[in-house]
Amino acid sequence: MTPETVVTIGQRALEMTLMLAAPMLLVGLVVGLLVGIFQAATQINEMTLSFIPKLMAIAATLVLLGPWMLKELVGYTRMLIESIPSLVG
């Protein structure tokens, strides 16, 4: 196994991690921003107010995008496992 192969596998793993985490992180960011704007407009400074909407939005995102995320992860894992013989030999 060459160093280029190792770097390529690591790069693909980081890309997969970013691709799977980005939707939930973006939803959490947008919901947090909206709740922050609402809190600033109404002067409600309750710290726990932002937690529940973010939790619900991320859970909904996971329910909606979960099958796609699982399909992508299984495809990447399958590709990695199928490439083991060519990497060793």
Return the number of other C-beta atoms located less than 10 Å from residue 69's C-beta. Answer: 18
- Rounded CA gap, 31 and 8, in Å? 35
**Secondary structure letter of residue 83 according to DSSP:** T
Q: Indicate the pTM of the whole model.
A: 0.80
Helix, strand, coil percentages for the chain (3-state, nearest 5): 90, 0, 10
- Rounded CA gap, 41 and 6, in Å? 51
What are the pLDDT digits (tens) for 1-51?
788 988 999 999 999 999 999 999 999 999 999 999 998 898 888 878 889
What is the reported pLDDT for 86?
87
